[in-house]
Structure 1
Amino acid sequence: IDERGRAGFIRKVYLTFTLMLLFTVAFVAMCLVMPEINEFQLENIWLLIVVFIVAITVEIMIICCTSVSRSSPTNLILLGVFVICEAYIVGFICAFYSTELVLLSLALTTVAFIGMTIYAYTTDNDLTIWGGVLFGMLLFLLALIIISFFVRVKWLLIVILILGILLGLFLVAYDTQ
């Protein structure tokens, strides 16, 4: 791909991510200001299970079926369904955390995403050599998450939050290249 095509691809990827994040943020915001949504989610756990199954099914279709993932508008419809499912799941998860922690997550993700977008547009660095390090960081983050199930301290949740955001953003940049 020439430089112009690559730049166009990166713009398209980041526009898609931005729209996905905005939808998820909007749904989580509704969950924060309208407790009846979380009450509905908690009273209808079966719906969460259905949403999980749909999300996993759509993800498998997008990853494994190239004929589906590369044909428009089918790929966009599947992506939309996936985003709706993930927003529902994130909204459900946020019900178990303080509004303060959710807002901190939103602010950090927004700032980091803007920074990573600027970096992805302007860098000439090859990030693909960092795959092993990113995988190691992913395993470390997973270990911290497992520890947090048993050790419930706020600072550990904040560390997990920051590492998760940074790792997610670096994985996006890594995959973009």
Structure 2
Amino acid sequence: MAQPGYMGPNSFGEDAYPGTFDFTEQSIRRGFIRKVYSILMCQLLVTMGVIALFIFHEPTKVFVRNNSYLFWIAFVVLFVCLIAMACCTELRRQTPVNFIFLAIFTCAQSFLLGVTASVYDASEVMIAVGITAAVCLGLTLFAFQTKFDFTVMGGALVAASMILLVFGILAIIFRSNIINMLYAAAGALIFSLYLVYDTQLMMGGKHKYSISPEEYIFAALNLYLDIVNIFLFILTIIGMSK
């Protein structure tokens, strides 16, 4: 089963601006960051609730397995919303349309994650959640305090994503546990770098590139996809190790 959201979010189009764009007021930057993380926390809470429903409520798991068309409907909805928000600047800046699209996208992504998580043991999912939370917290703190500018790495990360995509196709063809494990490890590493990259884009300041404060939906979407992909790859590694 194909995992949703494996492509790097910035490969769809990055509304980033050169370092000449500055948050001239500290209050503007703090307000932007607070808004992004507030939206992100709501997304993650919804996602965790849906995943918990799938792994702890057996009737839900059975119902979805008996109605597999729901997976494909959610996948199409996810793809349409993602393309719309990534490619249509006005759509993701216009309230409340941007929140509606983000909410639909989050629900679709949460459903797909719930279906994916349901094939693993609850203990494996909880371990993956804990590791993902620790990794993302550590990377976020690192992104905020490091003097190294990761925003210049956009091209390299897109190239790495393309290589990962090819690697994933080879993993499907050859079906080797070693290849699958290497693929998952490489994916977790690449999207960890994406998380640092997107965090620094959001921070602005002295970094070469930054995201406009109007792009809080796009910033939250990027961070959410980074975390989701890190979780999926870590869950894959844990599941294969057992």
Whole-Å separation in 1 of the counterparts to 2:146 and 2:186: 22
- The one of the two structures with greater contact order (alpha-carbon pairs below 8 A, sep at least 6) is 2
1:64 to 84, 87, 104: 87
Residue 39 (structure 1) aligned with residue 62 (structure 2): yes
User: SS state of the match for residue 93, structure 1?
Assistant: helix
1:2 pairs with 2:14: no
**Aligned partners of 1:68 and 1:75 also within 8 Å:** yes
CA 1:9 to 1:166, structure 2 compared with 1: closer, same or farther past 3 Å?
Answer: farther
Cα 1:133/1:61, change in 2 over 3 Å? closer
Task: Tell me the TM-score normalized by structure 1.
Answer: 0.81
Q: In the alignment, is the contact (CA less than 8 A) between 2:91 and 2:97 conserved in 1?
A: yes
What value does the CA root-mean-square deviation take over the aligned residues?
2.6
**1:84 CA drift (Å):** 0.3
Unmatched runs of 5 consecutive residues or more in structure 2: 1-21, 202-242
- The answer on 1:19 being equivalent to 2:69 is no
Correspondence for 1:29? 52
Q: 1:106 to 1:146 in 2, by over 3 A?
A: farther
Distance (whole Å) between structure 2 residues aligned to residue 16 and residue 168 of structure 1: 20
Once the two structures are TM-superposed, the CA of residue 110 in structure 1 deviates from its matched residue by 0.5
- Residues 75-95 of structure 1: per-residue CA shift (max 9 Å, x gap): 111111100000001111122
> Equivalent pairs: percent with the same residue?
28
Unaligned stretches of 5+ residues in structure 1: none
Q: TM-score, normalised by structure 2?
A: 0.62
Within 1, Cα distance between the matches of 2:130 and 2:67? 30
Contact 1:28–1:90 (Cα < 8 Å) also in 2:
yes
* Runs of at least 4 residues off by over 6 Å: none
1:151 aligns with 2:175: yes
| Number of the residue aligned with 1:107 | 130
Q: How far does the alpha carbon of each residue in 1:104-127 deviate from its partner, in whole angstroms, 9 at most, with x for none?
A: 321221011111222233334311
